[in-house]
Structure formats: C-alpha cells, structure tokens
Amino acid sequence: MSVGDNRATDRPARLAVGVVSAGRVGSVLGAALTRAGHTVIAASGLSAASVRRAERLLPGVPLRPPDEVVRSADLVLLALPDDALAGMVRGLVATDSLRPGQILVHTSGAHGVEILAPAAEVGALPLALHPVMTFTGREEDIERMAHCCVGVTAATGDDAAWNVGEALVMEMGGEPVRIPEPARPLYHAALAHGANHLVTLIADCAELLRGAGIADAERVLGPLLSAALDNVLRQGDRALTGPVARGDAGTVRAHLDVLAERAPGMSASYTALARRTAARAAGAGLLATDTAAELTGLLDDHARGADS
C-alpha cells in the first residue's frame, strides 16, 4: 500500500517495511514496527553482529542488498550513520530503487528531511524519526521505546506527512516531538552534548576514583549521580551544589592542583565545566557576581598556566 492511500486518514495502514540496515537502531525499530502490526519483509546487514542482531530481533526476515530491500517495501527505514545517509539516498535514486508513494524514513538526529530531497523528487514521502534514546540492540530497547521521545521532522507545510510520522511513532510506543528542519542542528547538538559527554564525564570520574584507590567506583558514583540527574531535570539550575556553586575558591584550587598532578588529561574539562557552572550559578542567583568573577579568574589563570 502506498502512502497516497493513507492521506485521507493521515494514519499509516499495515505496511511492508524494509530496514537498511540491521544495526542497533534499525533492528529495534523494525521489531517495534512488527509489534505494532506492520511486517518487516527484508533487511540489509553485512557484519556478523548485524546478522546475529537480525536473527534475534527480526526472526525469519531475509537479509538482502539495500536496493532489493527498498524495492519491496512500502516503508523504508534508513538506519544509517549520519555521513552515509546522503550517499545511500543518491544511490537508491540512481538505481531506480524508490517509487512514488513509498514512505522513506531516516533515523539520524543530525539531519532533517532536506537530505532526502532526491527521494522526494521521485515521489517518496520523506520523514526523519529520531528516537531520543541510546540503543544496545537488545530486546530491552523495544520496551524502552514506550518511554522515549522521538524527534519528528517532515516537509514544512505538509501536514499529512507530519501526521504520518507522528502516527508511526505512537504505534511504536514513543512520544512524538515535532522538530522543524532549521532546529535540527541545535536539537542534535543538545542531545549529543548531554548524552555523549555525560558518558565521558562519568567514565572520567570513575577513573579518578580508581586512581584514589576506590575499587568499586561505579557503586560510589551511582546514587550521587542518579540524584543529581533527577534533581536537575526537576529543578534546573536550582539543583547546583558543590564548591563552585558555593564559591569555595580554596577547594576549587585544590582540585585544579591535584588534577594537574594526577590527571592532566582531565584538567581542561574540569576547568571548562567549572567555568560554565559558575556562570549558571551566578545567573540563577546562587552565587554572587563578584564571587563568580573570582572563581572565573582562578580558572582562567589555571588554564593559562597549563597552556604555557
């Protein structure tokens, strides 16, 4: 069934789904669409990990080359790395793999639907559906879809396309959030800054604790960081605590000194985050302006000393 058949209701009917490729995201979304009543008729995947993942999450689904997957599908799911997406779209158009009426969805957070323009020119309906979640490629990810938001982008002014995208998200159990095309870069930067850098930050913290002789660093960090995350999501800047938010310059100086000695690779990130913390604390009225300026001066002096 083509998307043209669905425009009257703005709701996708039962669709034949093709997944390109069967990575962590593609396999999970394919499984979620199957649970919603659609049929994954083919997937692509070359690596041994993709094959095993498809066998586990998409049992019985044949693995075929991308062009064959696309030709047989009503809904094409392009779950590809950001930099591979444009080339794949051009290749599918060049090989006449796409047809008018197909729904073409990509899962990249960095891109909207402009990257699918060559497909739209041949009559496909372009959509960007980006789950705001990290994926492991295991069964529990399907359940997590019921608790995550999904960034939806469609062509400006195409209400039917927006509605189709939102309906697909809701069928998979997610909560659709409309992200206009111009907002995609900032939207994705925010998510990557939070999720990706949070992992780096926590891994660094655990490494520092192990350097201090604390074997079970993750057990020590877990309750503290879980509480901090919960607090900031509920209270915003009012959740700030610690020596920077209190204006304890002596403690901050001690931190800078020990990091310079014991973990110089982490010193720059501590300095940068402490500077941002001081600015946010001052902006929220938690830290006096002159104290914030004193802390910023201390941090700047340390950074210049590290660079000299």
Question: In Å, how far are 6, 227, 279 from 235, measured between CA atoms?
Answer: 43, 12, 17
For strand 125-131 and strand 149-153, is the pairing parallel, antiparallel, or unpaired? Answer: antiparallel
DSSP string, the chain: --GGGGTTTTS--S-EEEEE--SHHHHHHHHHHHHTT-EEEEEE--SHHHHHHHHHHSTTPPB--HHHHHHT-SEEEE---HHHHHHHHHHHHHTT---TT-EEEE--SS--SGGGHHHHHTT-EEEEEEESS---SSTHHHHHGGG-EEEEE--TT-HHHHHHHHHHHHHTT-EEEE--GGGHHHHHHHHHHHHHHHHHHHHHHHHHHHHTT-S-HHHHHHHHHHHHHHHHHHHGGGG--SHHHHT-HHHHHHHHHHHHHH-HHHHHHHHHHHHHHHHHHHHTTSS-HHHHHHHHHHHHHHHHHHH-
Number of residues written out for the chain: 308
Q: At what angle do helices 249-262 and 289-307 cross, to 10 degrees?
A: 20
pLDDT computed for residue 308 by the predictor: 64
Q: Are the beta carbons of 72 and 141 closer than 8 angstroms? A: no
pLDDT computed for residue 177 by the predictor: 98
Per-residue pLDDT of the chain (308 residues; tens, 9 = 90+): 344 444 334 445 799 999 998 999 999 999 999 999 999 999 998 888 888 999 999 999 999 999 999 999 999 999 999 999 999 999 999 999 999 999 999 999 999 999 999 999 999 999 999 999 988 888 899 988 888 999 999 999 999 999 999 999 999 999 999 999 999 999 999 999 999 999 999 999 999 999 999 999 999 999 999 999 999 999 999 999 999 999 999 999 999 999 999 999 999 999 999 999 999 999 999 999 999 999 999 999 998 887 76
